[in-house]
Amino acid sequence: MLDEPWCSGQILVTEPRRIAARLAATRVAEERGSRLGDEVGYRVRLDDKTSAKTRLIFATEALVLRQLVSGADLSRVSAVVLDEIHERSADLDALLALLQRLRKERPALRLLAMSATLDAATVAAYLGDAPVIRSEGRAFPVEVQHQEKQDDRPLEIQVRSALFSRATDDGDALVFLPGAAEIRRCQDALTEVASVDVLPLHGDMPIEEQARAIAVRRGRRRVILATNVAESSVTIPGVTTVIDTGLARVSRHDAFSGAMRLELEAISQARCIQRSGRAGRTAPGVCLRLFTKGAFEARAKEDVPELLRSDLAELVLLLRAAEIEPEELSWLTAPPRAALELAREQLTMLGAFGANRALTPVGRQMTELGVSPRLARVVIESARQGVLAAGCRAAALLGERDILRQSSVGARAQRGERGQHTVLSDSDVEARLAALEEAGRARYDAGRLRASGIDARGAQQARLVAEQLERQVARLRLATSAPPPSSPSEAELRLTRALWAGFPDRVAMRRGAGARLVLSTGAQAELAPESSVQAAAHLLCVAADYPRGQKGPAVVRIAVRLEPDWLLDWGAEHVEAREELEYDPERDKIDARSILAYGKVVLDEGRMLATPGRAAGQVLVRAATAKGAAVYDPESRLEALAVRLLLLGEYMPELVKDAPEQVTKYVEAAGDAALFATRALEPACELVTSLGELGRLDLGALLYAELSSEVRSALERELPETWRLPGGRELRIAYARGRPPMAASRLQDFFSVTQAPRLCRGRLPLQIHLLAPNQRALQVTTDLASFWENHYPELRGQLMRRYPKHSWPEDGRRASAPPPGKLR
């Protein structure tokens, strides 16, 4: 392309990773016979190997995206090549959408999308039916072998067995592993393998060590243990054996907690194919997949685009700076609306967006810093607070991999290490700043820093990023209104304020004395045991993740102690004073809590006993219904009244049709026991503040008093609670759901009674339960006259034999009933 007549300007080649951009540029410069940085160069973060005469520039996707949204029209660029488009990073998808938009203004701009495993038809259609070019290259055949059955042994043992099975191969072996930790374990497991050199290859290694891993072999057979950096854009000469674990770590954003999940996942079929192709670059090869053929076929054909699983705040901010809304672009895969809204809410919270989502001056400054919106906000606030250098270092440390091994974090903080100063052991950020200073004094010598648990290369990278941030802030000319801090503790406090500005929604409080935390958003989290902030009641959580395979809450790795007074000063608009009532089951009382809260985090509270009223009544209703009817209606009098009202509405609707609203609401609710109980409890619970007091109230009587006189009269007349027998005994009529009203007593009590009452103006018969002297049921009837005539004669003989001391007259219809309490 560079030598084509139409190519009068530059060609930009985007790569997903810095290692790919560097190595590809180096290789192409060699092939062109030029020095790197002349005709061919690369441009990545913190490293620029280009000059005024460079025409072919390899760059990371993120760098080109920022160049495009900063207003560059790429007027000097003749073509853009998007390499490894199948990886579908969020930056690449956004870049593709912006280039499509730019080509409408500059149709002469050439666009080329490249991949070895691309679904070419889909991308070609998206690009306007672009032509598809297939280049076979010089690929050699690769034999793919799968496991016959699932292997549950540790990954490093599986890898070692696979290598032993290919011990006679002439070429080098490339092993794909999920991450650096697995690489280290495999290195340990392969120490006993003689006559091979074991070399790691991952993105966190220095470029010199990466180059050593991909150089041409000069001596013994090599085993290269690599992450996905070796999947594409990098050719390792001499590899004839690939061992594919089929795994990778995928970063997924958890919207609820705000943390990133780094999940171990099975890669797609496309990536498996991409990995196997590494064995056929220079000679025929073999790919050993450490999973079954069935497991391969069950995998997704392609990766899920990063746009569908990541935090989109940085992308939304960059587009807004270019006065573009994501919805205006034509996407290969459109970002989810919910994720866009969450991103906009985050940017508003950080002060990047103002009214109508207009970009604020702070928001525009944030776009210039080249870090995530949260960290950019930390840097801007640190400049305002007069602690810019510390803020830039803190942002750099939080944006890069952790420079401290977890085992060393707590010990360092407890020793109070902070350069030549002593600090409180209540800030994980200060512990890392101290480690960064120590690394500087040791001149980033890995050997000297190993004993301190400090990652020398990570510290050096953080220093470079911090220096770059300071230079960018200098260009922005951010003003500071604060005088220099008067002491180390004052500087630490100001840095904490800057960190809070970037993470205002990550304020947390401890639940009890343990490690469990509640964030101001309501999310649950857990403080890592290695954190130095183990005594603070309130914390700022600035780095959290999910441990591998963990399904529980996020684990906070880096936190800073907070004091409630600080939050009152810094974020008064986030603090709310409110009163809450809650039931204390141990004391059987309702407490009134006066709360000062930052979201869901309580900063201060006072307690006193609640006074009876509507608010306290609602709390008591919930407590009573949770306990059940045994607490508030032990004799079921309230339930009986509900059934009576239900029957009244069913059999005598004319009586309740025009009843007052306070009556009809009970009649309508009577069919639902829980609803009726709640409506009855509400006025009663306003009178008391404990379940004990509630239990002493007669809810049925209280509700009965609320009914109109007409309805009360109808209930007493048509659905009475009792029935007086001729002998003087008063029977209680039982009303229960799903069965007719009934009255039960000894058979002798019904002597001379030939007609049982019919309720509701004769529309509803009363069911009579006739009992033997021992109170066991003999007969159930609604027609006593028929009972005396047809059933009593037969029963009389049985009763006379069983109860000879009792009187059993021949004709129960004419016999006299015994007085109450006496049997004859």
pLDDT single digits (tens) 757-787: 899 999 999 999 999 998 899 999 999 999 9
Provide the pLDDT for residue 254.
54
- Name the average pLDDT for the chain: 87
Give the whole-angstrom CA distance, residue 542 versus residue 505.
10
pLDDT for residue 220: 85
pLDDT of residue 331: 94
**Per-residue pLDDT averaged across 326-345, rounded?**
93
Return the pLDDT at 700: 87
pLDDT of residue 283: 85
- Rounded Cα distance between 747 and 169, Å, is 102
| Tokens 């998007």 found at | 82
User: Which segments of 446-485 does DSSP mark as H helices, in order?
Assistant: 446-450, 456-476
Q: What would the CATH number be for the domain defined by 10-119?
A: 3.40.50.300
Nearest to 369 by CA among 350, 386, 355: 350
Maximum Cα interatomic distance, the chain, rounded to a whole number of Å: 130
Strand partners for 568: none
Mapped onto helix, strand or coil, the DSSP state of residue 671 is: coil
Give strand ranges (E) for 467-535. Answer: 507-510, 516-519, 524-527
**For the domain bounded by 142-301, which CATH number is listed?**
3.40.50.300
Q: Work out the pLDDT band at 423, boundaries 50, 70, 90.
A: very low
Cα of 288 vs its chain's centroid, Å = 36
For residue 809, the model assigns a pLDDT of: 92
- What's the rounded mean pLDDT across residues 796-805? 91
Top-confidence residue, 272 or 409: 272
Q: What is the pLDDT of residues 155-168, one digit of tens each?
A: 999 999 999 888 88
pLDDT (mean) for 504-523 = 91
Sheet holding 56-60, edge to edge: 47-49, 40-44, 56-60, 10-15, 77-82, 110-113
Strand order in 742-746's β-sheet? 742-746, 767-771, 777-781
**Residues 221 and 172: beta-carbon distance below 8 Å:** yes
Burial 739-762, CB ≥16 within 10 A → b, else e:
eebbbbbbbbbbbbbeebbebbee
SS3 (DSSP) at 725 = coil
Run of H or E including 424: none
Spatial distance between the Cα atoms of 285 and 451, rounded to a whole number of angstroms: 42
Q: Give Cα separations from 140 to 280, 284, 287 (angstroms).
A: 5, 5, 12
Element at 781 (helix H, strand E)? strand 777-781
Contact 601, 519 (CB under 8 A): yes
- Quick one: pLDDT at residue 261? 55
- The three-class DSSP label of residue 532 is coil
User: What is the distance between the terminal CA atoms of the chain, rounded to a whole angstrom?
Assistant: 120
Element (H, E) at 262: strand 260-266
Q: What is the pLDDT of residue 225?
A: 93
Q: Is 419 helix (H, G, I), strand (E, B) or coil?
A: coil
Q: Where are the beta strands (DSSP E) in 471-617?
A: 507-510, 516-519, 524-527, 538-546, 554-562, 575-584, 589-598, 601-609
3-state helix vs strand vs coil in the chain, percent to 5: 40, 20, 35
Q: Are 236 and 279 in contact, with CB atoms under 8 Å apart? A: no
> 202, 214 in Cβ contact below 8 A?
no
- Number of H helices and E strands in the chain, helices first, is 32, 31
Any alpha helices (H) in 400-441, and if so which ranges? 406-415, 428-441
Where does the pLDDT of residue 256 fall: very low under 50, low under 70, confident under 90, or very high at 90 and above?
A: very low
Measure the CA–CA gap between 265 and 248, rounded to whole angstroms: 6
Angle, in degrees to the nearest 10, between helices 337-349 and 313-321: 80
- Indicate the burial class of 131 (C-beta count within 10 angstroms; 0-12, 13-18, 19 or more): exposed
Task: Assess whether pLDDT exceeds 80 at residue 219.
Answer: no
Q: Of 644, 643, 639, 640, nearest to 714 (Cα)? A: 644
Q: Which neighbouring-strand residues pair with 418?
A: 420, 421
Q: Is 824 helix (H, G, I), strand (E, B) or coil?
A: coil
Kindly state the average pLDDT of the residues 283-310. Answer: 90
Q: What is the mean pLDDT of residues 595-602?
A: 92
Helix (H, G, I), strand (E, B) or coil at 426: coil
Q: Give residue 402's pLDDT band: very low, low, confident or very high (50, 70, 90).
A: confident
Going by pLDDT thresholds of 50, 70 and 90, the confidence category of residue 418 is very low
State yes or no: pLDDT of 216 exceeds 80: no
Residue 111, SS3 per DSSP: strand
Q: What is the mean pLDDT of residues 53-60?
A: 95
- Return the amino acid letter for 218: R
Query: What phi and psi values does residue 648 have, to the nearest 5 degrees?
Result: -65, -45
Those residues whose C-beta lies under 8 Å from the C-beta of residue 181, and which sit 6 or more positions away, are none
Name the least confident of 114-123, 201-210, 732-741.
201-210
- What was the pLDDT predicted at 793? 92
Give CA angle at 810 (806, 812), nearest 5°: 80
Q: Is 178 left (phi over 0), alpha (psi -120 to 50) or beta?
A: alpha
Average pLDDT on 513-537 reads 90
CA-CA distances (angstroms) from residue 169 to 39, 146, 177, 291, 619? 40, 18, 21, 21, 75
Is 373 a residue whose pLDDT tops 50? yes
Assigned CATH for 313-500? 1.10.3380
Given a cut of 90, whether residue 42 has pLDDT beyond it is yes
Q: Which residues contact 738 (CB under 8 A, 6 or more apart)?
A: none
Q: In angstroms, what CA-CA distances link 592 with 168, 600, 604, 622, 689?
A: 78, 17, 14, 16, 11
Q: Look at strands 172-176 and 239-244 and give their pairing.
A: parallel
Residue 438: CB partners within 8 Å, gap ≥ 6? 417, 419, 449, 452, 454
pLDDT of 593 reads 86
Answer yes or no: is pLDDT of 143 > 70: yes
Distance between CA 210 and CA 336 in Å, rounded? 37
Tell me if 558 sits within 8 A of 531, measured CB to CB. yes
Give the residue from 756, 782, 397, 360 showing the smallest Cα distance to 560.
397
Assign 808 to helix, strand or coil.
coil
pTM listed for this prediction: 0.72
* Rounded average pLDDT over 16-44: 91
